[in-house]
Amino acid sequence: MTEQNSVLVSTENHVKTITLNNPQRKNALTKQMVIAIHEAIKASETDGTRVIVLTGAGKDFCSGADLVAGGAELMSGVEKYLKECVNPLILSIYNTDIPVIAKIRGVCVGLGFNLALACDMLFASEEARFSEIFTNIALSSDGGGAFFLPRRIGYYKAFELMALASIFTAEDAYHLRLLNKVCTEETLDKVVKEVGDKLAEGPWVAIKHTKSNLREGFVNTLASTLNLEAENQGRNFKTEDFAEGVQAFLQKRKPEYKGK
């Protein structure tokens, strides 16, 4: 693996796929990979991307931070690394209005798990395994796990999974409401492609505003959410997509959205 190919980026029909490409280490994240993912996310704001799919090469999603390749650097300044590299990446996924889908195979643990939790939709193969594995090596969480997990599953279960570093299956994750769907290995790519294409071909401006509204409602007040919903709806009413949606409804046909 070289710095240049440790993260692969491809785009098709406005769907950008970002692939962690360190399969020999179960796609463990180096500093260079974190920076490359962040750059790909930032570029999506201006390059026409409508959906982002985050996945891993080979049989795994991500085994967390690469403590072998980056161990010396982390030991000398892990707080700086997290604040200057990891945290901006997590915030970029969370704060972008572009939908981000995690496509998960195999190992999804530690920072890799929290990277997935920052996404908007999570699809996993039946063989996927999850863990907030940090306490196994006497570490506490990073990468936003302490923000995302209790909001998804409640404080008590989140504490259990984090403190005990429990390893659990995709089926367990689904029942904990951490996944949108569990797929067979053979259908995972197809399911994610269908969802990504549907989002990309839909009323893109309205979908972005939907993510923005949900994010506001997730962490702020009813009053602020109502206000943002009103502002975004005002923007939606001015789009060509809204006019097309109304016209298609009246003509009883499928709308053809342009994302305008």
pLDDT digits (tens, 9 = 90+) for 191-236: 999 999 999 999 999 999 999 999 999 999 999 999 999 999 999 9
What is the C-alpha to C-alpha distance for residues 126 and 13, in angstroms, rounded to an integer? Answer: 28
Total-model pTM: 0.93
- What count of Cα atoms within 13 Å lies in the side-chain half-sphere of residue 143? 23
Confidence at residue 9, expressed as pLDDT on a 0 to 100 scale: 96
What is the C-alpha to C-alpha distance for residues 88 and 65, in angstroms, rounded to an integer? Answer: 15
Which tens digits make up the pLDDT trace of 33-61?
999 999 999 999 999 999 999 999 999 99
CATH of the domain spanning 7-200? 3.90.226.10
* Element containing residue 168 per DSSP (H, E): strand 167-169
What is the C-alpha to C-alpha distance for residues 142 and 120, in angstroms, rounded to an integer? Answer: 19
Which ranges of the chain would DSSP assign to H, the alpha helix?
Answer: 31-43, 71-81, 87-95, 111-117, 145-153, 155-163, 170-175, 188-201, 204-219, 222-237, 240-250
* 238: three-class secondary structure by DSSP: coil
Tally Cβ neighbours within 10 Å of residue 194.
11
Confidence at residue 74, expressed as pLDDT on a 0 to 100 scale: 66
Are 244 and 256 in contact, with CB atoms under 8 Å apart?
Answer: yes
CA dihedral of 103, 12, 51, 168, whole degrees rounded to 10: 0
Q: Name the band, by pLDDT with cuts 50, 70 and 90, for residue 259.
A: confident
Nearest to 97 by CA among 52, 144, 36, 145: 52
Give residue limits of the domains in the chain: 7-200, 202-250
Average pLDDT over residues 250-259: 88
Average pLDDT over residues 107-111: 97
Confidence at residue 72, expressed as pLDDT on a 0 to 100 scale: 58
What is the C-alpha to C-alpha distance for residues 113 and 132, in angstroms, rounded to an integer? Answer: 7
